[in-house]
Amino acid sequence: MKITVLGCGALGQLWLTALESQGHEVQGWLRVTQPYCSANVVHLDGSVSNGTYVANDPDFLNQSSLLIVTLKAWQVASALKNLEFLIAPSCPILLLNNGLGILEELRGLPQPILQGVTTHAATRDGHVIVHTASGITHIGPTSAPAARLSDLAEPLHQALPDVAWHNNVAPAAWQKLAVNCIINPLSVQYDCRNGALKEQQAEILRLCAEIAHIMEREGYHSSKENLYNYVMQIIESTADNLSSMLQDVRAQRLTEIDYINGYVVRRARAQGMAAPENSRLYDLIKRKEQFYEHESL
Ligand code: KPL
C-alpha cells in the first residue's frame, strides 16, 4: 500500500518504520516542507531502524490509499483543511491523536475518517525515538460503518501489533481519554514521571469516579473500578515516561488539554453535570499555558 504519515514525531516515526518493514511504500508529511524526513527508532527488542523517507510529495499524497495522522490534537483540523484538496476523496484518514473533539472540527471533509486510539508509547531521546511500551491500537469508523475499511486492520496489525477493529470505537476512545485525563495533567501537577503517580491513589480514584459517571451519561458502560485498573496498568507500563503533556509544559508549548480534560468538562456540561475534578486540572494546565504565553510577549 501507499501510505502517508502526517506528523513525524515519536508515533509518526514508529509507524513509518513499522509500515516500511512490511513492504509498504511510505512517505512522511511535515509542517515545514522538506523533500525528505528521517526516522531513527529503537524497537522494544533493542533493534534499531534508521531510514530516510520521501516527504511532502503532493503526488504521493494524492495516490495514497491511507493517511495516518499523528499530529497533536490542536494541529489536526487546520493541517487537514489545508491538505484536503490533495487527498483523494476515497482515501481513509486515520486519526491517532490524544483526546477527543476533533471530529466536530472536521465536519464536511469528504474523506472517510477513522478514529484510532493507541496505548503504544514512544519517547524521544535526543535524535532517537525509543519505543517504550507495546500496546493496542483500536480503530473504527466515525460515520456509518463501511465494511471495506475494516480490511485496513490487517496490514496495520502486521506492521505494529496489536490492531483491533471496532464497529463502535467510542468506548475504547473514552477509556484512553480517561487515561490521558488522569496521567497527563497529574504528571504536570506533581512534575513527575508517570510511575510516580502510583502515590496519588485518592486523587486518581476521585477522577475515575467522575469520568465513569460522565461516561455512563454519554451512554458508555463504565465503572470507577474498571477505569482505575486500566489507568494503573498504563501507569505501570509507561512508568519511566514523561507524559506528552509534561513534555509540552516543560518546553512551554501549547498542550492538548482542550481535547482531554477540556472535552470531558464540555461533555459533562452538555449533560447538565458538574465535573469539579476535571475542571480543576483543566484550569491548572490553562494557567501554566497562560503564564508562559504571557512570558513570551
Ligand atoms: O498517552 C500518553 C501521553 O503521555 O500522552 C500516556 C499514555 C499517558 C503515556 O505517557
CA distance 143 to 53: 32
Is any atom of ligand 1 closer than 6 Å to the C-beta of 118? no
Nearest CA to ligand 1 atom 4: 243
Q: What is the model's pLDDT at position 147? A: 66
Q: What is the model's pLDDT at position 296? A: 67
DSSP β-bridge partners for residue 93: 67, 113
| Complex prediction ipTM | 0.98
CA distance 174 to 237: 19
| Kind plus residue range of the DSSP H or E element containing 80 | helix 73-83
Identify the sign of the CA torsion 115, 121, 122, 125. positive
Q: What is the pTM of this model?
A: 0.94
Instruction: Using the structure block, give the residue that is written with the C-alpha cell 499523528.
Output: 70
pLDDT band (50, 70, 90) for residue 172 = very high
Which one from 176, 198, 224, 288 is the annotated catalytic residue? 176
CA distance 229 to 111: 36
Cell representation of residue 16: 513509518
Residue of 204, 236, 238 with the most ligand 1 atoms within 8 Å of its CB, for mutation: 238
Is any atom of ligand 1 closer than 6 Å to the C-beta of 133? no
Cell representation of residue 219: 451512554
CA distance 173 to 25: 29
Give 180 Cα–ligand 1 centroid separation in angstroms.
Answer: 6
What are the CA-CA distances from residue 96 to residues 138, 206, 222 (Å)?
Answer: 10, 27, 23
Is any atom of ligand 1 closer than 6 Å to the C-beta of 183? yes
Identify the sign of the CA torsion 227, 232, 235, 237. negative
CA distance 204 to 182: 7
Average pLDDT over residues 57-62: 98
The SS3 call for residue 212 is helix
Give 182 Cα–ligand 1 centroid separation in angstroms.
Answer: 10
Active site residue 176: yes
Residue-wise DSSP of 237-290: HTTTPPPHHHHHHHTT---SGGGTHHHHHHHHHHTT---HHHHHHHHHHHHHHH
Nearest to 66 by CA among 155, 135, 138, 129: 155
CA distance 163 to 30: 25
Average pLDDT over residues 253-266: 98
Mean pLDDT estimate for the chain = 95
Q: What percent of the chain has pLDDT over 90?
A: 91
pLDDT band (50, 70, 90) for residue 294 = confident
Cell representation of residue 84: 484536503
CA distance 187 to 248: 12
Edge-first strand order for the sheet with 121-125 is 121-125, 128-133, 36-42, 48-55, 25-29, 2-6, 66-69, 93-95, 113-118, 137-141, 163-165
